[in-house]
Amino acid sequence: MPRPLSPLLLAAIFAALACHPVHASAPTSRPTPPPIQRDRAPTPDVAETTAVVASPGAAAPERPSPRSVSAAATPATEASPPTPLLSSLRGLSSDPAPERITNDTHYLVSNERRLDLFRPDIDGLGGVHVGVGTDQNFVLAGWSRPELMIIVDFDGEVIDLHAIHGALLRAAQDVDAFKRLWSEAGADEALALLAKLEREPPARRERLQALYTRTRARVHKRLRVLTRRYAELDVRSYLDTPAQYDAVRSLHLRGRVITLRGDFTQAGVVRRVGELLREHEREVQLLYLSNIEQYFTYGRAFKDNMLGLPLASSSLVLRTLPGRPAGFQYMLQKGPDFHAWMRAPRVWSVYRLRGLGKGEHLAASERWFITELPPRRGPEAG
């Protein structure tokens, strides 16, 4: 998450957005493009492609019994050997800790409930995933199947929570076992696992156990709510589909999830991530920004950070912004188009990029594909 804004900067934002109010009552009526048609087959999910046929009146087949937590599934035994890129990413120094976090709140569970609106476009996208936040990234990864996931967040507790998620994912061979470790019934087992993280120094092990105790009920509720919500929408996710869960778990088992404390609005970790990816000739296929852009204007450091990320020609940028009624609008944009906006002069706000007209507001639970390009006014100074 970004640093909170100063009063002077807030005043500048409101002035910049004066011609694009987001509080009027008239909804937008512009069409949104259909999902991108990609030259690849959708990623199959076992639960989606296997049908069970039973004779009339026959008893339903029994589901296989859940696999239990595996003590042998540890990073030391199953993680892939580190590559030069992975080693370099793990060696990056964190950005300085912020003086305060956004709204003085640790956003440890997401309230984005319609991430499924992204799925038709990101299914099987692969490549490198760069994201912010917590559990949202696992949902997206179950669909997009990245080969490497890099999470950058300026809240140290978010990074610690990823360490907890990773430990429990590595230990739990299936999603039922994973959910149980977040439940009250599995709390003692989860705490015992965290206490045995040999790669973590004692002080951090204690910190992770304390954070787990403090957040366990909230995370468990988020997993239950999301599972129920997607079931109502007939959407498969890593929370109910073995193939997707295995894909997310495999990333952790093979050491392909890198978590870094960093600030998207400062020259630091994000800039170095882009440099390392370019050095190793790897491209970002999915950039997930959540709703961080609502909290700051596009300063020079943020624009340079984004331009420094090697976004593939087929890449997508995903973001959310608050809409009405209470919820978020879910926005997609082609990576090269996002870069075009980052090069444009006098573009300092995500709302300018979104193209809101006077009297429009964002509709919640709506998929919106940003296709407009910035006006051609020559290269940006500075």
For residue 2, give both structure tokens.
């970004």
pTM of the predicted model as reported, rounded to 2 decimal places: 0.81
**22 inside domain:** no
d(CA 331, CA 52): 36
Paired residues of 361 in beta bridges: 27
Name the CA dihedral angle for 364, 9, 298, 371, rounded to a multiple of 10 degrees: 30
User: Which is nearest to 367 in space by CA: 264, 186, 233?
Assistant: 233
Predicted confidence (pLDDT) at residue 322 exceeds the cutoff of 70: yes
49 is a domain residue: no
Which residues of the chain form beta strands (DSSP E)? 26-27, 128-131, 148-153, 257-261, 284-288, 311-323, 327-334, 360-361, 367-370
Q: Is residue 233 assigned to a domain?
A: yes
- Stated as kind and residue range, the H or E segment containing 229 is helix 202-232
pLDDT at 103: 66
Within-domain flag for 10: no
Q: Report DSSP letters for 311-354, one per residue.
A: EEEEEEEEEEEEEBTTEEEEEEEEHHHHHHHHHSTT---HHHHH
Taken in order 66, 69, 72, 73, is the CA torsion positive or negative?
positive
63 belongs to a structural domain: no
Domain assignment of residue 320, yes or no: yes
Counted domains in the chain: 1
Residues 6 or more apart whose Cβ sits within 8 Å of residue 203: none
Range of weakest confidence among 59-63, 98-102, 241-245, 289-293: 59-63
Structure tokens at 317: 């940028």
Q: What are phi and psi of 116, to 5 degrees?
A: -60, -20
Q: Give the residue numbers spanning the domain of 190.
A: 82-97+108-370
Backbone angles phi, psi at 219, to 5 degrees: -65, -45
Inside any domain, residue 65: no
**Distance between the two ends of the chain, CA-based, in angstroms?**
26
Could you say which DSSP state residue 241 is in? -
- Residue 85, pLDDT > 80, answer yes
Evaluate whether residue 60 is within a structural domain.
no
pLDDT tens digits, 188-245: 999 999 999 999 999 999 999 999 999 999 999 999 999 999 999 999 999 999 999 9
Rounded average pLDDT over 126-142: 97
Phi, psi of 188 (to 5 degrees): -60, -40
